[in-house]
C-alpha cells in the first residue's frame, strides 16, 4: 500500500483481512499526515431509502451527468456499512453525546488514529516516512512492488516486492499551502502514468478553498498566490458564513453558491470578506481561538479571504479505474482515494458534499480486496525492475524550485485555473511542455534533493495533464469554466481520458465498470 491516509488505511485493512501480507508505506507518518489529519472530514453517508435515491439523482445532475448512478449507490452502501463499523470499533462521532446522531462528519486526527490502531491489530507492517518514488514492473509490465527513500534513516533506499500494489498517495495541490497538503504533490499520478496508466477527469482539477489572508491585514490581496504554511479556515464554519464583496454586497446567497461567487469576485480583482458574526456560536468560538482570527487590528466581523488551490485533492481528476475492484489499466496496480478519478460519483464537480470522504472509504475497501485477490491468483514473482522515472537523475543540473515556480505560476492564480480560455491554456501548455525535457535530463540529486526533484517532476506532469484536458473540453461544465465556451454542450457529455509522459494525449473514455468486488470483513482480531 502506497499512502497512509484514510484510503490507504482502509485498503490495507481490507487486504489483510482477505489473507494477504500487507506492507504500508507513507511519505509522512501514517495517521497524522495529510489533509485529513489536519481538520474534519465530511462523509456522504445516507441511510437506505428515498433520501438516498434523491441524493444520487441530485449528485448526477449536479455533476453535469458525467457520473455513474450505480457507482454512487455502491459508494453510499459501502460508506454506510463502514461508518457502522467505525462505531463498533469505538469511534465517537461529534454531536452524538449531545443527542444529535449525525454520522456525516469525522474528526480527522481521531479518525486516522483509530485506523492506525486497527492496522496494527490486523498485522499490517507500517513504514512511516518512506516516500515511494518508483513502481517496480516485471518483464510483462505487471506491477510488482515499489521503491523509494527512508527519510528518517539518512535517506537510504528501500524496495518492496509485492504481487499487487495499491496507489493511495493522495492528489495534487501544487504546494499551494493548504493544511496538510504539502504531501500531496501528485507522485502517485506520475508513477501510474510511467507504467502506462491512464488518467481521467483532469480538467476538473481546479478546486479552490477560501482561507483568511495570510497576515489578516485589513485589505485582502486579490488573486494572491498563497505561501506555504497558510492553512485554510475551518471549512464548515465558512460554509455557514455569509460572504460579501468590498461594496458590502452579499455573494450568491449562502453555502456553496456563495463560495462560487466569491471565487469569481476574487478572480475579477474584488476583495471578499466573511461575516464571522453570522457563523453559529460554537464554530465562531472555534475560529476565534485560532491565531489568524486572534490577530490585532482587524474587524472580527469582516474577515478578508483569498482563494487557495486544492487541485485534485478536492477536485475530481486522477488515475482511471476500470472496475468496481478499483483496478487500473495496468495489471497489478490498483487505486484508492484522491489519487484516482472520482468522476463516477462526482462527475464534473469535486467532492464538496462529503463524496471525497466516502470515496476514500469505499475505494479503499474495494482496492484492498481487489489487490489481495489479484495477488492470490498470481503464480509468483519473477525479476522486476524500477520503471523509468523523471526527476531521478544521479546529479542535478537544474534547481527543482525553478520547476515548482513555473508550475505554480500556471496553476495557482485564479486567472489561470478558475477561468480558462484557449489562449491562456495554450500559453501554459507551451511553457510547461518546454520545461519537461529539461526536467527529464537535468532534474535529480541524492538524499533530500532526490525527493524534492521527484516531487517537482510530478507537479509538472500533473499540471500538463490538467491543461491539455482543459483545452480539449471546449465547453463549461461543473468546475471547468471556459470563458470562450461559456455554456455546456450536449455533445461533450463524455469523460476525457489522458495519459502520456513525454507526449500528453487526451481522448474520450469508454466506460467499463467490470465486476463487483467481494465484501470484506474488517473487524480487528
pLDDT above 60 (res 235): no
Nearest CA-CA partner of 391 in 134, 129, 176: 134
Determine the average pLDDT of the residues in 289-312: 69
**How confident is the model over 239-294, as pLDDT tens digits?**
667 888 888 888 875 556 678 888 889 988 899 988 766 666 666 666 565 555 55
- Cβ(470)–Cβ(203) below 8 Å: yes
Is 423 a residue whose pLDDT tops 90?
yes
| Report field, pTM of the whole predicted structure over 0.85 | yes
> Residue 513: what pLDDT?
40
Cα dihedral: 281, 283, 284, 287 (round 10) = 160
500-515 mean pLDDT: 76
* Nearest C-alpha neighbor of 187 from the set 118, 243, 261, 133: 133
- What's the pLDDT band for 352 if we cut at 50, 70, 90? confident
Domains along the sequence of the chain with CATH = 6-205+312-386 (3.50.50.60), 210-215+231-309 (no CATH), 400-486 (1.20.58.100)
pLDDT at 218 over 60: no
CA geometry: angle 390, 393, 399, nearest 5 deg = 85
Separation of CA 464 from chain center: 17
Copy the grid coordinates of residue 91.
469511534
Rounded percentage of the chain residues whose pLDDT exceeds 90 = 71
Helix (H, G, I), strand (E, B) or coil at 35: helix
More confidently predicted of 335 and 214: 335
Local structure of 377: helix, strand or coil: helix
The pLDDT score that the predictor gives to residue 303 is: 80
Q: Is the pLDDT of residue 410 over 70?
A: yes
pLDDT digits (tens, 9 = 90+) for 444-501: 999 999 999 999 999 999 999 999 999 999 999 999 999 999 999 998 999 999 999 9
pLDDT attached to residue 253: 59
Instruction: Tell me the C-alpha distance between 46 and 17, whole Å.
Output: 26
Query: CA angle at residue 487 from 426 to 262, to 5 degrees?
Result: 80
The least confident of 179-183, 333-337, 360-364, 514-518 is: 514-518
State the pLDDT at residue 511: 46
The CA distance from 7 to 107, in Å, is 16
**Predicted pLDDT at 516:** 39
171, 7 contact by CB (below 8 A): no
* Residue pLDDT, tens place only, 23-78: 999 999 999 999 999 888 889 999 999 999 999 999 999 999 999 999 999 999 99
pLDDT band at 510 (very low <50, low <70, confident <90, very high): low
With a cut of 70, say whether residue 412 has pLDDT above it: yes
Nearest to 345 by CA among 188, 185, 521, 495: 495
From 148-162, 186-200, 235-249, the region with the lowest mean pLDDT: 235-249
- For residue 152, give the C-alpha cell: 528518517
The C-alpha cell 480560455 sits at 421
Give the rounded percent of residues in the chain with a pLDDT score beyond 70: 84
At 131 the pLDDT is: 97
pLDDT of the residue at 213? 80
Distance, CA of 71 to CA of 395 (rounded, Å): 46
Q: How much is the pLDDT for 38?
A: 87
Average pLDDT, the chain: 87
pLDDT at 217 over 90: no
How many angstroms separate the CA atoms of 486 and 480, rounded? 10
Mean pLDDT over 155-179 rounds to 96
- H helices present in 330-380, as ranges: 343-346, 355-377
Q: Tell me: pLDDT of 149 over 60.
A: yes
Q: Could you say which DSSP state residue 248 is in?
A: S
pLDDT at 353 over 90: no
**Can you tell me the distance from the alpha carbon of 340 to that of 188, in angstroms, rounded to the nearest whole number?**
9
Average confidence (pLDDT) over 109-117: 94
pLDDT at 288: 61
Helices then strands, counting H and E runs in the chain, come out as 15, 18
Q: Are 162 and 144 in contact (CB under 8 A)?
A: yes
Specify the pLDDT at position 518.
Answer: 43
Amino acid at each position: 500500500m502506497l499512502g497512509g491516509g484514510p484510503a490507504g488505511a482502509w485498503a490495507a485493512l481490507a487486504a489483510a483481512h482477505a489473507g494477504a501480507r500487507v506492507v504500508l508505506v507513507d511519505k509522512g507518518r501514517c495517521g497524522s499526515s495529510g489533509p485529513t489529519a489536519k481538520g474534519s472530514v465530511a462523509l456522504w453517508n445516507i441511510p437506505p431509502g428515498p433520501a438516498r435515491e434523491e441524493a444520487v439523482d441530485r449528485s448526477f445532475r449536479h455533476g453535469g451527468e458525467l457520473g455513474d448512478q450505480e457507482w454512487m449507490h455502491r459508494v453510499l452502501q459501502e460508506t454506510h456499512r463502514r461508518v457502522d463499523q467505525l462505531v463498533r470499533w469505538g469511534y465517537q462521532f461529534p454531536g452524538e453525546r449531545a443527542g444529535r446522531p449525525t454520522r456525516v462528519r469525522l474528526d480527522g486526527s481521531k479518525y486516522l488514529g483509530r485506523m492506525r490502531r486497527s492496522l496494527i491489530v490486523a498485522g499490517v507492517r507500517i513504514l512511516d516516512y518512506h516516500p515511494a518514488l518508483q513502481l517496480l514492473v516485471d518483464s510483462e509490465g505487471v506491477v510488482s512492488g515499489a521503491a523509494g527513500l527512508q527519510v528518517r534513516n539518512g535517506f537510504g533506499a528501500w524496495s518492496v516486492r509485492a504481487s499487487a500494489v495499491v496507489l493511495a498517495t493522495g492528489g495534487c495541490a501544487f504546494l499551494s499551502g493548504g493544511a496538510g497538503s504539502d504531501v500531496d504533490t501528485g507522485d502517485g499520478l506520475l508513477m501510474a502514468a510511467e507504467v502506462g496508466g491512464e488518467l481521467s477527469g483532469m480538467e476538473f482539477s481546479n478546486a479552490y478553498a477560501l482561507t483568511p489572508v495570510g497576515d489578516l491585514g485589513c485589505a485582502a490581496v486579490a488573486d494572491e498566490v498563497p505561501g506555504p504554511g497558510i492553512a485554510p479556515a475551518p471549512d464548515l464554519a465558512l460554509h455557514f458564513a455569509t460572504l460579501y464583496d468590498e461594496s458590502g454586497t452579499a455573494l450568491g446567497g449562502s453555502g456553496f453558491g456563495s463560495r462560487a461567487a466569491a471565487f469569481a469576485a476574487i478572480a475579477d480583482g474584488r476583495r471578499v470578506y466573511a461575516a464571522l458574526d453570522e457563523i453559529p456560536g460554537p464554530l465562531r468560538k472555534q475560529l476565534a481561538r485560532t491565531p489568524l482570527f486572534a490577530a490585532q487590528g482587524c474587524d472580527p466581523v469582516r474577515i478578508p479571504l483569498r482563494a487557495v488551490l486544492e487541485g485534485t485533492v478536492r477536485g475530481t481528476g486522477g488515475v482511471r479505474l476500470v472496475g468496481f475492484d478499483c483496478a487500473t489499466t495496468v495489471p497489478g496496480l490498483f487505486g484508492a482515494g484522491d489519487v484516482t478519478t472520482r468522476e463516477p460519483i462526482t462527475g464534473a464537480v469535486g467532492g464538496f458534499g462529503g463524496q471525497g470522504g466516502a470515496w476514500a472509504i469505499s475505494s479503499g475497501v474495494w482496492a484492498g480486496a481487489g489487490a489481495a485477490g489479484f495477488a492470490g491468483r498470481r503464480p509468483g514473482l519473477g525479476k522486476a525492475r524500477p520503471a523509468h522515472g523523471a526527476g531521478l537523475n544521479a546529479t542535478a543540473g537544474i534547481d527543482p524550485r525553478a520547476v515548482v515556480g513555473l508550475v505554480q505560476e500556471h496553476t495557482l492564480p485564479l486567472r489561470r485555473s478558475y477561468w480558462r480560455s484557449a489562449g491562456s491554456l495554450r500559453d501554459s501548455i507551451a511553457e510547461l511542455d518546454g520545461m519537461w525535457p529539461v526536467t527529464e535530463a537535468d532534474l535529480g540529486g541524492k538524499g533530500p534533493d532526490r525527493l524534492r526533484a521527484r516531487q517537482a517532476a510530478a507537479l509538472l506532469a500533473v499540471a500538463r495533464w490538467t491543461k491539455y484536458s482543459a483545452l480539449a473540453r471546449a465547453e463549461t461544465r461543473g468546475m471547468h469554466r471556459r470563458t470562450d465556451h461559456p455554456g455546456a454542450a450536449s455533445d461533450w457529455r463524455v469523460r476525457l481520458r489522458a495519459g502520456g509522459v513525454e507526449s500528453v494525449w487526451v481522448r474520450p473514455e469508454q466506460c467499463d465498470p467490470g465486476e463487483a468486488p467481494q465484501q470484506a470483513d474488517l473487524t480487528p482480531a
